[in-house]
Amino acid sequence: MKRTIFRISILLFAGITIMTACKKKNDKDNPNNPQRIVVITPDDPNYVGGMTEPESTCITDEHGDTIGTQLSYRSCVDVDGETISYQLKQYCSNVDTSFEDLLYGPYKYNTEYGECSRRQEGNFTIIDSVLVLELVEIERVYVCKWHYEVAVYNDGTAQVVLPYHRPDYAPCGEPTIDGYLCCVIDVSDEDLGEVEGNGGLHRYLTRVIYGLEFKVANHIYMVPMKISSYYVGMRL
């Protein structure tokens, strides 16, 4: 339902732009011969468009550490016999969070598609969109955001939404059966030393790295989610 609403909002934007552009043409040209804008949607039988395979690169920080994943691909569509194209991008940052206590429990998840912002580049309106993933573990919520672009072309006579790769969350396993929604990549414990006055108990830092899997153009991309938790226990 939410995906349908987001798609409708893009088409409504196309309609609003059409009315505005037509009004400007009508004011300038002969009102008895107004300029019409032809709207081309993916559902149109005359719609001809395509996309290249996404190219994946790592996003790194100033130290050279990988902090995210970026995809880039070319999207094109035919407008009156002319090929219109635009280079679209997607990206997702790794998740790194910390808590004071250790907590394990079955996961539930929610996904939602939305719009972040818009920018104009010549005849293109670029809609910065996002897939928001929420993983719920008992009372905690972990959030991961996969950003992607949608391009709308309008030259004053034709308007078209270029094809794009829409990301999807691909959970590992069925939550109703085993509760697993992500893959465990690594688990480590660090002894932070003895807790004074606690009879030899030690304070530990546990780091669990999960892999969140997203599907784009039939390819699976894994985003690391590191959760650091502290606990007190007997010396290992």
Which domain covers residue 200, as residue numbers?
2-233
Mean pLDDT, range 12-16, rounded to an integer: 47
pLDDT digits (tens, 9 = 90+) for 168-216: 998 775 544 345 567 777 788 887 777 776 667 877 888 888 888 899 9
pLDDT > 70 in the chain, percent: 72
pLDDT digits (tens, 9 = 90+) for 36-61: 566 777 777 778 889 999 999 999 98
Mean pLDDT, range 20-31, rounded to an integer: 40
Cα(first)–Cα(last) distance of the chain, in Å?
Answer: 49
pLDDT digits (tens, 9 = 90+) for 104-158: 655 678 899 999 999 999 999 999 999 999 888 777 788 999 999 999 999 888 8
What pLDDT is recorded for position 178? 42
Count of structural domains within the chain: 1
